[in-house]
Structure 1
Amino acid sequence: MARDLNTDPRLVCVGANLESKVILEGLIDIKANIVSLVTVPVEKSNNISDYVDLHPICSEADINIIDTIDINDHITIQQIRLLKPDYIFTLGWSQLFGEQILAIPEKYVVGSHPSLLPEGRGRAPIPWTILQGLKQSGVTLFRMDNKIDTGPVLVQNMFDIPDAAYAMDVYFLATQNLRSAFCELYVKLKSGQAVEVLQDTTKASYRAKRVPSDGHIDFNHSATDIEKLVRAVSKPFPGAYVYHKGNNIYIWKASLRNIPPYIGTIGQILTKNKDSLLVQAKDKPIWLSHFTDDAGPVDINYFRIGSRFNYVVDDELYKLWQEIEALKRGK
């Protein structure tokens, strides 16, 4: 009943991942009037790499839960509409919002993006930030419209990116800045001081979707590019990988420090220490470590010095030709 008497702006929050948890906790701390959280049920969360179960937090804070796997589902839309929100805060949700969702709140839907819009519109912002070698990035809250990352800016926070940062390092920086930004925006909305700034479309840039296969390591690339790839797609993302002994081997750490004077063929394991392999890239060797396969961690002793990662295409085609010829002769 007390919640119904609250005259502060009514929020419906949408999220199901780690950044959603951190932001939600921040909004709870400043006593935001959260009338419901839309989230993904645990049993439907397998495809969300950074999923966090937010049900316990909402239970403790007495926040209503709407479970869904489709924000545009008509039942979900109906449930949100009945709550009569002033704003919908998108804390962490990858699905695009349809026109019906955008039309629900009395005011508008707030979108979030971990880049300094209009730069970096689109997909996979954290991996692309590392792959592009950026030294600074930021987060943007904006008034969501029916396009992607194009609405007027409400809040922007900038942060520096440490040298040799991994995806999770940038993820945490973005998450903490998003928490601050959402709390700042809510205070401004309460006091009527929120300001909208149109994005300068002449400065817009766009990032394409990335898929797990983009994490394949091609040792014909430079050691610097390989090191950036390993960092960019490390946890909470699917990881960089190679082929070895018929298996996918995932590599979670890479280093260009203290490279000894070895040279070998592309993709060859040159030497190893207690936890790392020195592997030849196009221009110079690189240290790789923290290996897993689909079953779990892979011991360093699984790898033999002198062996090579990935396949030599011509050799594999020749083997295939031999097998086909053998089958023909067996007829």
Structure 2
Amino acid sequence: MTSAVVFAYHNVGVRSLKVLLAHGIDVRLVITHEDNPGEQIWFASVREVCREYGIACITPADPNADDVVARVAALDADFLFSFYYRLMLKAPLLATARLGAFNLHGSLLPKYRGRVPVNWAIIHGERETGASLHVMNIKPDNGALVDQQAVPILPDDTAQDVFTKVMVAGEICLDRALPRLIAGTATLTPQDLSQGAYFGGRTAEDGRIDWRQPARRIHDLVRAVTHPFPGAFADLPGGRLHVWRTRVVDQPAPAGKPGMLEFRDGSHTLYPLGGGCLRVLEADIDGGALPEQDLPLLRIP
């Protein structure tokens, strides 16, 4: 029976682990994370899946610690898989897998290597992304490709909408590739790294809106960082504005309106300095309802 050690977290980890089990893989150990009490946990638990299936599961702070590497090496597994695991796995760990170590990444590599690829793809206005199964090495997300599956990004899709699609795309990749990996017939295609770049993690402050951007760019930021993420925001004269959902309206800003949040006919519209306009579908100021009046988008000195 083909065997594996799995590093996994989040919904992607849950679904991918179940794909391995569906293919009869002997999962000898799962390494996951302790949930961060300061993080909103809106996703499924890998540890709960391990309890359900009777799989050994550990949550080391450092997966590359000598005792963890020794335990993984002693299992003599055929494969090592990483599914949305948040820490880098170093060379000694990767070398423990007899037939190779593989990672499932949430973009169409080589584009959007690195952190939070779904959010970055939306912020940049991409109309397509996907999942990539690739060889793991000591540099993140640059190993040879085993399989990829594309999904569309619709103009009003949020990060959670796209993440759900990418999760299914990853499941398809893994399900399709496993028979070839097990048989030793998988084709490994080197990445052309010049066709993409690395992107870093994001913080709540990265959701600050730049009103000099055009409406479409601001809309892309809003949908990329809306719930369950901290949201797009700006400090207005009336308090901190959080914008959770918008729609691009194909009309020019009226004279005198650029730089304003307008209230008219029972709804609010944003007119960024960068041009265009956004219908506000969900927003708040300091956690409360928007006032039924016009507001400037920038603080007046």
User: Normalising by the residue count of structure 2, what TM-score does the alignment of the two structures yield?
Assistant: 0.87
Q: Which deviations, in whole Å up to 9, do the C-alpha atoms of 1:106-138 show, x marking residues without a partner?
A: 222101222222233233311221222222222
> Whole-Å Cα distance in 2 between the matches of residues 230 and 79 of structure 1?
44
C-alpha contact (below 8 Å) 1:263/1:285 kept by paired residues: no
Which residue of structure 2 aligns with residue 328 of structure 1?
Answer: none
Is 1:154 paired with 2:143? no
Which residue of structure 1 aligns with residue 294 of structure 2?
Answer: 306
Offset at residue 47 of structure 1 (A):
4.2
Larger radius of gyration: 1
Is 1:105 paired with 2:100? no
Offset at residue 213 of structure 1 (A):
1.8
SS in 2 for 1:256: strand
Which residue of structure 2 aligns with residue 33 of structure 1?
Answer: 26
SS in 2 for 1:196: coil
Code of the residue aligned with 2:180 in structure 1: it is K
Return the match for 1:280 from 258, 268, 271. 271
Higher share of residues assigned helix: 1
Offset at residue 55 of structure 1 (A):
2.1
Task: Give the 3 Å change call, closer, same or farther, for CA 195–236 of structure 1 in structure 2.
Answer: farther
SS in 1 for 2:295: coil
Identity %: 22
Task: Give the 3 Å change call, closer, same or farther, for CA 307–161 of structure 1 in structure 2.
Answer: closer
> Whole-Å Cα distance in 2 between the matches of residues 243 and 256 of structure 1?
21
Q: Which deviations, in whole Å up to 9, do the C-alpha atoms of 1:90-121 show, x marking residues without a partner?
A: 11123222222222222221012222222332
Which residue of structure 2 aligns with residue 318 of structure 1?
Answer: none
Code of the residue aligned with 2:161 in structure 1: it is D
Q: Which deviations, in whole Å up to 9, do the C-alpha atoms of 1:38-67 show, x marking residues without a partner?
A: 11123x453476553222211111111111
C-alpha contact (below 8 Å) 2:143/2:190 kept by paired residues: yes
> Whole-Å Cα distance in 2 between the matches of residues 243 and 55 of structure 1?
40
> Whole-Å Cα distance in 2 between the matches of residues 84 and 272 of structure 1?
67
> Whole-Å Cα distance in 2 between the matches of residues 194 and 45 of structure 1?
40
Which residue of structure 2 aligns with residue 144 of structure 1?
Answer: 136
Which residue of structure 2 aligns with residue 323 of structure 1?
Answer: none
Offset at residue 174 of structure 1 (A):
0.7
Q: How does 1:1-331 map to 2 (within 5 A)?
A: 7=1, 9-42=2-35, 44=36, 46-47=38-39, 51-201=43-193, 203-209=194-200, 210-244=202-236, 247-257=239-249, 262-271=254-263, 276-282=267-273, 283-291=275-283, 298-300=287-289, 302-312=290-300, 315=301
Which 5+ residue runs of structure 1 have no aligned equivalent?
A: 1-6, 316-331
Task: Give the 3 Å change call, closer, same or farther, for CA 291–102 of structure 1 in structure 2.
Answer: same
Q: Comparing 98-107 with 254-263, which one deviates more in the overlay? A: 254-263
> Whole-Å Cα distance in 1 between the matches of residues 218 and 5 of structure 2?
42
Which 5+ residue runs of structure 2 have no aligned equivalent?
A: none
> Whole-Å Cα distance in 1 between the matches of residues 139 and 270 of structure 2?
44
Q: Which deviations, in whole Å up to 9, do the C-alpha atoms of 1:170-192 show, x marking residues without a partner?
A: 11111001011122222222222
Q: Which deviations, in whole Å up to 9, do the C-alpha atoms of 1:176-210 show, x marking residues without a partner?
A: 01011122222222222222122234x43104323
> Whole-Å Cα distance in 2 between the matches of residues 235 and 79 of structure 1?
39
Code of the residue aligned with 1:308 in structure 2: it is P
> Whole-Å Cα distance in 2 between the matches of residues 108 and 93 of structure 1?
17
Code of the residue aligned with 1:254 in structure 2: it is T
- Aligned residue pairs: how many? 299
User: Normalising by the residue count of structure 1, what TM-score does the alignment of the two structures yield?
Assistant: 0.80
Q: Which deviations, in whole Å up to 9, do the C-alpha atoms of 1:308-330 show, x marking residues without a partner?
A: 34534xx1xxxxxxxxxxxxxxx
SS in 1 for 2:157: coil
Q: Comparing 282-291 with 12-21, which one deviates more in the overlay? A: 282-291
Q: Comparing 127-136 with 70-79, which one deviates more in the overlay? A: 70-79
SS in 2 for 1:197: coil
Code of the residue aligned with 1:111 in structure 2: it is N
Offset at residue 287 of structure 1 (A):
1.7
Q: Which deviations, in whole Å up to 9, do the C-alpha atoms of 1:201-230 show, x marking residues without a partner?
A: 4x4310432332221112222111111111
SS in 2 for 1:286: strand
SS in 1 for 2:168: helix
Task: Give the 3 Å change call, closer, same or farther, for CA 240–151 of structure 1 in structure 2.
Answer: same
The CA RMSD measured in Å over matched residues stands at: 2.6
